[in-house]
Structure 1
Amino acid sequence: MTAAEAREIWAREAYPVLVGLARTYHAVITYKELAEKIQESTGIRTRALLHNWIGTVLSMVVREGHRRGDPPLTALVVHTDDGMVGAGYKEVLEVAGEPPAADDLARELHAARSRLECYRRFGAILPPDGGVPALAPRHQAAVERQRVRTERPSPVCPRCSMQLPSTGACDSCDQ
């Protein structure tokens, strides 16, 4: 079997896996988890590095979803370390005829709206308000940590009004 044939089979398998996932509100899956599921269920394994083949598989899923009129299921697939969709998510925008995301946050917000569309389309049980677009849990936690850091004012020396270092002792006036 060629690598191209394997990718086609994995893409056909990934589609129903992602549809099933979309039936649970706020559910996401990592690239690694998806790769393991589709290799396990198809019995077709590879030793190639994940980043060398998963993008092609998800590209096929994007195009199939667009053909079917489904929301972009690949919005459900996130990185393990930061909970963000990958740079390859730009293909979702390209296929839909939308302009590229201005930055990572814009891309993540688009993916959050797309996930909500997926949950609605595939029958997830939603809250009474119909649900809200949400960042993937790991990424949302990072955003919250950053917000807390920026909202907390830095302590200043009462004597000279200089920002205090982490030691709490003023380097300028020894207070």
Structure 2
Amino acid sequence: MAHNGTQETCERWAQKAYSVLVGVARSYHAVITYKELGTEVQERSGIHTRAPLQYWIGSVLGKVVREAHRRGDPPLTALVVHSDDGMVGEGYKEVLEVAGQPPVHDVLDRKRHAAEARLDCYRRFGATLPPGVGVRVLAPRYQATIKRRRARTAEPPPVCRGCFVQLPATGVCDSCN
């Protein structure tokens, strides 16, 4: 069945998205990309669209946010991340709005909030947590990005005290030796 842009279609996709996200939450540290979720809700609902994902997934996830809040569930949309960087999108701010919390403008603070929400999802929906009840984590791809950045900004290379030139691997200055 083709998507006809109706509110009914969005509702149906949101129901399927909720179910998909509960399934994701049952695996500790699991996340799903926006694209994977979009594909899955279309397959499960039998309603397909050629419209680009960015034109409709936000409405679907907004409904999921409100339904999770209504049920008293943690924000399942924290499990949905970008495929390129593993981070939640700008639409995550709706989680805070619906919960009556102030907006989080700092990107890293938003990612930390989402990490805490993911841990709440894993706990709520029965993921097998490690001893100590689990810890909040940033999305795996985002953690890898941070690790790469830290590696690039590691300690500066040693410098010769005499001429202030970077020392070679031997640790002995070729100029001042």
C-alpha RMSD of the superposition: 1.9
Corresponding residue for residue 18 of structure 1? 21
Rounded to whole Å, the distance in 2 between the matches of 1:123 and 1:161 is: 58
1:109-160 Cα shifts (integer Å, max 9, x gaps):
0000000000000000000110000011100000111112222314535543
Q: CA deviation at 1:4?
A: 2.4
1:65 is the counterpart of 2:65: no
Once the two structures are overlaid, the 10-residue window that deviates more, 4-13 or 134-143, is 4-13
Corresponding residue for residue 47 of structure 1? 50
Corresponding residue for residue 112 of structure 2? 109
Q: What SS does structure 1 have at the residue aligned with 2:153?
A: helix
Corresponding residue for residue 92 of structure 1? 95
Match of 2:149 among 146, 149, 152: 146
1:12-68 Cα shifts (integer Å, max 9, x gaps):
110011001100000000000000000011111111111111011000000000000
Amino acid paired to 1:136: A
Rounded to whole Å, the distance in 2 between the matches of 1:152 and 1:145 is: 14
Rounded to whole Å, the distance in 1 between the matches of 2:76 and 2:161 is: 54
Rounded to whole Å, the distance in 2 between the matches of 1:74 and 1:39 is: 17
Rounded to whole Å, the distance in 2 between the matches of 1:76 and 1:149 is: 28
Corresponding residue for residue 170 of structure 1? none
Identity of aligned residues (%): 65
Rounded to whole Å, the distance in 2 between the matches of 1:163 and 1:106 is: 37
Equivalent residue runs for 1:153-164 within 5 Å: 153-156=156-159, 159-161=162-164
Unaligned residue ranges in structure 1 (runs of 5+): 165-172
Amino acid paired to 2:98: V
Rounded to whole Å, the distance in 2 between the matches of 1:2 and 1:79 is: 24
Q: How many residues align?
A: 167
Amino acid paired to 1:130: V
Corresponding residue for residue 39 of structure 2? 36
Rounded to whole Å, the distance in 2 between the matches of 1:151 and 1:95 is: 40
- TM-score scaled by structure 2? 0.88
Rounded to whole Å, the distance in 1 between the matches of 2:139 and 2:9 is: 29
Corresponding residue for residue 171 of structure 2? none
Amino acid paired to 1:90: K
Rounded to whole Å, the distance in 1 between the matches of 2:31 and 2:135 is: 15
